[in-house]
Structure 1
Amino acid sequence: MGKKRYSPDFKLKLVNQYRLGTAVSKLASEYGISEVTIYKWIKLYAPVDSDVDMTKAEVLAIQKENERLKQEVDILKKAITIFATK
């Protein structure tokens, strides 16, 4: 059986229900998701720092985008050296 994928909105919905007082065990049985998975989502969408209003998921998304941009810059630098020698 393949790995199920859940949208960030669905994950946030469950995390918000947990924050409103619904037990993880109840959420797990209601939605058919393991408790471990729900706890991972709770950790993922917890605020990273009290000074910054960002979750771990948002930080990871920014890091991923940053890495992609670094790769693009490296490609452009290589292209510049190729065209500069012609």
Structure 2
Amino acid sequence: MGHKREGKKYNDDFKKIIMDLYQAGNSIKDLSSEYGIWEVTIYKWMKAFTPISSEEGPLTPEELAKVQKENLRLKPELDILKKAMTIFAKK
């Protein structure tokens, strides 16, 4: 049986440094070869650290996912409150 290859773990500070170097003009190919990181990994980090514009200000995809998850959690509560309001309004 083959064994699963374990990937390297990089902390967020290191990822942000790589993103800063990319934004400063270094190519992904150069960063990949210099730091020994797969190009696809750098592209994934770019997606994760690129802010998304919103009314509240820029959000990272991770922050947006948290907001969406919270929204899904609150929707049923809001529906319950709306139903309760219609019941009490009739009385």
TM-score (norm 1): 0.63
Where in structure 1 are there 5+ consecutive unaligned residues? 71-86
Give the structure 2 partner of residue 57 of structure 1.
62
Where in structure 2 are there 5+ consecutive unaligned residues? 74-91
How far apart are the structure 2 equivalents of 1:58 and 1:28?
A: 26
Shift of 1:4: 1.3
How far apart are the structure 1 equivalents of 2:26 and 2:17?
A: 12
Give the superposed CA RMSD: 2.2
How far apart are the structure 1 equivalents of 2:45 and 2:19?
A: 7
| AA matched with 1:31 | Y
| AA matched with 1:3 | G
How far apart are the structure 2 equivalents of 1:9 and 1:27?
A: 16
TM-score (norm 2): 0.60
Give the structure 1 partner of residue 41 of structure 2.
37
Percent of matched pairs sharing the same residue: 38
The size of the alignment, in residue pairs, is 66
